[in-house]
Amino acid sequence: MKALLVLALSSLCATAMADEVPTDVAQQQPAVEEYTYSTHLDIAEIISMSEVPDVCEVVPMKMEYNDSKGQRHILRYSVMGNGCSNG
């Protein structure tokens, strides 16, 4: 009976700890913002940008940056791929 109680309590603790992990990660990772023509951009430092693929179509891109207040942002926008030829 004691072993069953210990097993139940340990699984409850593991579940509680598993619930806390995504919350901590969600607080560290900013929400992805969609770019529109009316989006005000306050970019002080670019952290990373995704690579433009060699395809001839519109592709989604992401840019992670810090604004002038030091807050981190992730911006999603679209660009034309590098795979189109002009001839």
For residue 27, what pLDDT is reported? Answer: 60
d(Cα 11, Cα 48) in Å, to the nearest integer? 39
d(Cα 5, Cα 17) in Å, to the nearest integer? 18
Pair 13, 40 in one domain: no
- Burial annotation 20-33 (CB, 10 A radius, 16+ → b, else e): eeeeeeeeeeeeee
Range of the domain at 2: 1-29
Pair 51, 18 in one domain: no
Mark the ranges of the chain whose per-residue pLDDT is less than 50.
87
For residue 58, what pLDDT is reported? Answer: 95
Pair 20, 41 in one domain: no
Size (the chain), residues = 87
Q: ∠50-73-26 over CA atoms, to 5°?
A: 100
For residue 82, what pLDDT is reported? Answer: 92
Helices of type H across the chain? 2-28
Pair 53, 80 in one domain: yes
What CATH number did the domain enclosing 66 receive?
2.30.140.50
Within a 10 A sphere around the Cβ of 3, how many other Cβ atoms? Answer: 7
Number of domains in the chain: 2
For residue 17, what pLDDT is reported? Answer: 53
